[in-house]
A = this chain, B = another copy of it.
Amino acid sequence: MPSEAKQKMIQSRRRPLILVTNDDGITAPGIRALTKAMDALGDVVVVAPADEQSAVGHSITLDRPIRVKDYNFGGELSHVHALAITGTPCDCMKLALHELMHRKPDLAVSGINMGSNIAINVIYSGTISAATESSVNGIDSIAFSLDSKDPNADFIPAGNYAKIIAQKVLRSQLPTGVVLSANIPAIPEHEINGIQVTRQARSRWQEGFVGRTDPSNKQYYWYRGVLNILDDSPDTDNQSVEDGYVSVTPLQYDRTSYGCLDVLRTWRWADAKDQSFLK
């Protein structure tokens, strides 16, 4: 990392220090909108992937080195300290927190993702994984996603709601082990009905693959799928966004199914040793 950039990282201690990342890459419109929103709340450091990293989930880079480059958003954000790295959203958080920043941030935010991250999609989302990673590191963290895949989508209302939610978290502190995922409807700001606290909707991907043949006559597949929501309860992330609310879902990273521990303990595991099941 250039020492000049390292110098820049010495932050003032009076304003909140906010770390920003995403999974669409540092040049995406959503991270610009989020950076602008956070710039109004505190001192901002951006450490984001150089390239798009959608659907990378919680992957980390172990098999190749990670490089860091200065980045400048230009215009009204040219004062913001930004670094582009050759890695995943989780790499960004790890590298920022343990190598690039000179003190622990007060808040970490990820997004604003182009496309919602609701229901089962939570487990695939690089945006949410980045926020999870900083939460694991003891930092209050929020993932933001806009419910639109339109490259010309207006991120300004989402940025304004990101500011409101971030401000609330800076004031109130999140419970331990919990990260927030906010999904914002892609509608004009005056049509947004407010903020709702939700749970993940039950859903299932209707998977599909498109098989094609290359010029050498070898077959290959493209993944595609359609998300089916199996749950129309008004307290779900999906329904909330459909109803014109900003959905805020608390997510935990402890995946232990506590409710299931006792059930499994009643299973007589040793019995399985008898081979009668085998024909």
Which residues from chain A sit less than 8 Å from chain B, CB to CB?
1, 15, 40-41, 52, 54-63, 65-68, 90-91, 94-95, 97-99, 120, 122-124, 129, 132, 136-138, 164-165, 167-168, 170-172, 175, 177-178, 180, 194-195, 197, 199-200, 204-205, 207-209, 211-212, 218-223, 225, 248-258, 260-261, 263-265, 267, 269-273, 277-279
Contact = CB atoms under 8 A, between A and B. Distances in A.
A121 B273 CA distance: 29
8 pairs of A and B residues whose beta carbons are closest in the complex: A57-B58, A65-B220, A57-B57, A98-B207, A168-B272, A250-B260, A252-B257, A250-B257
Nearest to A132: B123
Copies of this chain present in the complex amount to 2
Nearest to A91: B223
B58 A123 contact: yes
Contact of A212 (B65, B222, B261, B263): B65
A98 B208 contact: yes
A171 B272 contact: yes
A220 B269 contact: no
A256 B264 contact: no
Contacts of A165: 269, 272
A101 to B, nearest CB: 12
A123 B132 CA distance: 9
